[in-house]
Amino acid sequence: MTENFRINLTPDDVPKNWYNILADLPLELPKPKNSEGKDQISDLQKVFTKTALEQEFATERNIKIPNEVRELYMQMGRPSPLVRARRLEEKLNTPAKIYFKREDTSPTGSHKLNSAIPQVYFAKQEGVENLTTETGAGQWGTALSLAGSLLDVDITVYMVKVSFNQKPDRKNIMNIYDGNVFASPSENTKIGREILAKTPDHPGSLGVAISEAMEEALEKDNVKYSLGSVLNHVMLHQTVIGQEIKTQLEIAEEEPDVMVACAGGGSNLAGSLFPFIKDKIDGNSDTEFIAVEPSACPTLTEGNYEYDFGDTNGFTPMLKMFTLGHDFVAPSVHAGGLRYHGMSPIVSLLVKENIINPTTAQQRDAFNAGMTFAKCEGVLPAPETTHAIKAGIDEAIKAKQTGEEKTIVVNFSGHGMLDLKGYAKFIDGSMKNC
């Protein structure tokens, strides 16, 4: 009865620094570069805040979290609990211990607030009055809207039109936090108007939404652009997750044998795993790190490691990363947050160097794992998170076969309360396995 299967930390345990893995990579990270005849890198300097760009290329191992940001982390519920999935272990009849890190306990239901708060804070410090961004599934737009509301900075979100129409609740929650949400393509921008003139019923895409959000930041004073994944400074902010897991595993007197996270642009994966990776590089740990992507968008498992654009339209500089090609269009799986053609350059390098192992899960198999998890542990995972759970369950089953008492840590990146229609399709059998 008294075994500690939920490890809560106190607000004082929120990390005081972000961990910058750039200080510890086995190879130098290839720099972004301009595409021929364009000067996209100097455009970056116009659209991003100074602090975001400084952090993008910073080399110190530890970067101090400003007091006000740390305080907001606490007030928004950090540290998040680490919980042992004892009922799931029993159901699987495995000798493995499965822990899950509950990033769903954030008010917006995912890990995204970890980067939204500092990004808005730095913008505010620099006198920026408005931040623009794009959102697909809506998690990032929701987190940035709340951060804007907490710090009194206006937020403009370009939401892919097809998602905007399909997911009114995502727009509603952004509006509650005072986010201004536009279906993209919109009449607000030159590129939006051009697209609508040619194709009035254009369904939108993440690429178009990025272009609209960046155009606003390029053209207007006191407006900057903010991105919720892929870039180094976003990975940096997310490392509060993994640092907390470290403290929690020490309290539980556990060493992780396997750590699992899903991967779209890489932010929850980086956040949970990076603080554990130096020990592996240094030969002091043999933890296995697993990145799970949807079979429908197999960037790390089937993509090429090469320079490519971050967006569909070639508006951004080129990044060295695993990519399916910037014109790749993933099937419309429910895990909208994992439908990205590219991947964080740092995560890509670590996969290339065999430090992180990628794997894939098919949609129905992932939802099936999510259902099993919810019925055992109560909490309903987001479609993205079900991918990590599927791989975690597979590892626990392997441990049963070999009889090993492995310790498996799964990053539970978000809850599925706004994704119930996806689950309904799984249950009524109309969801495709792809």
Amino acid at 167: K
Residue 160 C-beta: closest distance to a second copy, Å:
19
Query: Rounded to 5 degrees, what angle do the CA atoms 153, 233, 385 make?
Result: 90
CA distances from 13 to 21, 241, 247, 293, 414 (A): 21, 12, 8, 31, 21
Contact assessment for residue 228 and residue 112, using Cβ atoms and an 8 Å cutoff: yes
The two three-digit tokens of residue 164, written as one number: 């905007």
In the bound complex, what is the minimum distance in angstroms from residue 184's beta carbon to a second copy?
A: 20
In the complex, what is the shortest distance from the CB of residue 113 to a second copy, in angstroms, rounded to a whole number?
8
Shortest distance in whole angstroms from residue 144 CB to a second copy: 13
Compute the least distance from the CB of residue 66 to a second copy, in Å.
12
Smallest distance, a second copy to C-beta of residue 58, A: 25
Residues that bind a second copy (CB under 8 A): 1-2, 4-6, 8, 10-12, 67, 70-71, 74-77, 86-87, 105-109, 113, 146, 149-150, 168-169, 172-173, 175-178, 371, 374-380, 417-418, 420-421, 423-424, 427
Buried b / exposed e across 146-161, counting CB within 10 Å, b at 16+?
bbbbbbebbbbbbbbb
Compare residues 7 and 213 and give the one whose CB is closer to a second copy: 7
Provide, rounded to whole angstroms, the least separation between the CB of residue 114 and a second copy: 13
Query: How far is it, in rounded angstroms, from Cα 7 to Cα 138?
Result: 29
Closest CB to a second copy among residues 1, 197: 1
CB of 392 to a second copy, least distance (A): 17
Residue 178 or 404: the one with the smaller Cβ distance to a second copy is 178
The neighbouring-strand residues paired with 323 are 304
Q: Whose Cβ is closer to a second copy: residue 292's or residue 379's?
A: 379
Question: Partners of 320 in the beta sheet?
Answer: 307
Q: Which is nearer to a second copy, 5 or 305 (CB)?
A: 5
In the chain, helix, strand, coil percent, each to 5?
45, 20, 35
Among 114, 133, 125, smallest CA distance to 269 is for 114
Contacts of 176 by beta carbon, 8 Å cutoff, 6+ apart: none
Judged by beta carbon, residue 108 or residue 156, the one nearer a second copy is 108
Beta carbon nearer to a second copy, 30 or 77: 77
Contact 334, 423 (CB under 8 A): no
Alpha-carbon gap, residue 204 to 188, rounded angstroms? 14
Q: Is 313 exposed, middle or buried (0-12, 13-18, 19+ CB in 10 A)?
A: middle
Our CB check for a second copy shows the closer of 172 and 433 to be: 172
